């Protein structure tokens, strides 16, 4: 269960984005198939976890924030086949229903922050994202795979190296580029990540985003927020599979640095 921390008032966050189910099928690879040069996975167990924006939601809740979550009702399943001895991904299979776009107006005036976790599956159009940003008077945090993104003073754009290369316009004032084990870059400054043993990067960007949002709302300082995001992601990559921060993780992130 997500961690619960004491607070005078729960910060209210509106989260919008594409969600999926992360499915992990574990087994042992000890031989090759006689039918093709591929490994045979002897089934051991299966695990399912909320993924994409749903993972962002759970991690925001771990920081004791009150979340209003708008997401696709259609089912998206990402199935990963994993050799449990080596923890190596053998194969990923995506099964996606066609996602209908969000068309109704979104009320933005009663939140401390708005978070957009856009995996570009169809739930949020470019026009809808710009509409939400224009109507918002609170900070907006966007993690998106789109190439056209808004540039507004109250809007922070968080993308990775690959997504950065696909941008149509690099001139975004509040642009945060995550760089894996190196950390993240903001305003031409590198905010280094902690040196940890990396076991799995799945969902690390979601965890970074949750830490970033909490840090900014708590400290009203983007630099402190970036470092808190880095620490949150460092916890996530030391776990196997999609990971939700636990109470002891939150204590480590907030109080031991």
Q: Three-state SS string across the chain, please?
A: CCCCCCCCCCCEEEEEECEEEEEEEEEEEEEECCCCCCEEEEEEEEEEEEEEHHHHHHHHHHCCCEEEEEECCCCEEEEEEEECCCCEEEEEEEEECCCCCCCCCCCCCCCCEEEEEECCCCCCCHHHHHHHHHHCCCCEEEEECCCCCCCCCCEEEEEEHHHHHCCCCCCCCCEEEECHHHEEEECCEEEECCCCCCCCCCCHHHHHHHHHHHHHHHHCCHHHHHHHHHHHHHHHCCCCCCCCCCHHHHHHHHHCC
pTM given for the model: 0.91
pLDDT higher than threshold 90 for residue 118: yes
- pLDDT of 218: 95
Q: 145-185: per-residue pLDDT in tens? A: 999 999 999 999 999 999 999 999 888 999 999 998 899 99
Any idea where the domains of the chain sit in the sequence? Answer: 12-17+55-68+105-255
Residue 16 CA to residue 54 CA, distance in Å, equals 9
**Beta carbons of 23 and 52 less than 8 angstroms apart:** no
Q: Which residue has the higher pLDDT, 194 or 26?
A: 26
Q: 123-149: per-residue pLDDT in tens? A: 999 999 999 999 999 999 999 999 999
pLDDT higher than threshold 50 for residue 25: yes
Q: Look over the chain and give the mean of its residue pLDDT values, rounded to a whole number.
A: 93
**Topology, domain 12-17+55-68+105-255:** 3.40.1190
- pLDDT of 174: 96
């Amino acid at each position: 269960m997500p961690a619960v921390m004491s607070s005078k008032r729960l910060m209210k966050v509106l989260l919008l984005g594409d969600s999926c189910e992360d499915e992990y099928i574990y087994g042992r690879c000890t031989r090759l198939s006689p039918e093709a040069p591929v490994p045979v996975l002897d089934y051991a167990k299966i695990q399912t976890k909320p993924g994409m924006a749903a993972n962002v939601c759970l991690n925001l809740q771990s920081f004791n924030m009150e979340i209003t979550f708008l997401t696709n009702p259609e089912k998206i399943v990402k199935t990963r086949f994993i050799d449990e001895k080596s923890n190596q991904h053998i194969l990923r299979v995506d099964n996606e229903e066609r996602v209908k776009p969000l068309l109704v107006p979104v009320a933005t005036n009663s939140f401390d922050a708005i978070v957009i976790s856009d995996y570009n599956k169809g739930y949020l159009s470019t026009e809808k994202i710009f509409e939400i940003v224009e109507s918002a008077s609170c900070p907006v945090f966007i993690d998106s795979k789109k190439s056209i993104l808004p540039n507004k003073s109250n809007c922070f754009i968080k993308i990775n190296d690959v997504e950065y290369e696909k941008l149509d316009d690099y001139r975004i004032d509040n642009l945060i580029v995550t760089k894996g084990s190196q950390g993240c870059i903001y305003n031409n400054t590198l905010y280094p990540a902690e040196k940890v043993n990396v076991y799995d990067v799945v969902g690390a960007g979601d965890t970074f985003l949750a830490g970033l949002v909490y840090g900014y709302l708590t400290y009203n300082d983007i630099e402190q927020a970036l470092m808190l995001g880095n620490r949150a992601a460092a916890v996530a990559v030391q776990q196997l599979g999609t990971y939700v921060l636990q109470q002891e993780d939150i204590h480590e992130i907030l109080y031991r640095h």
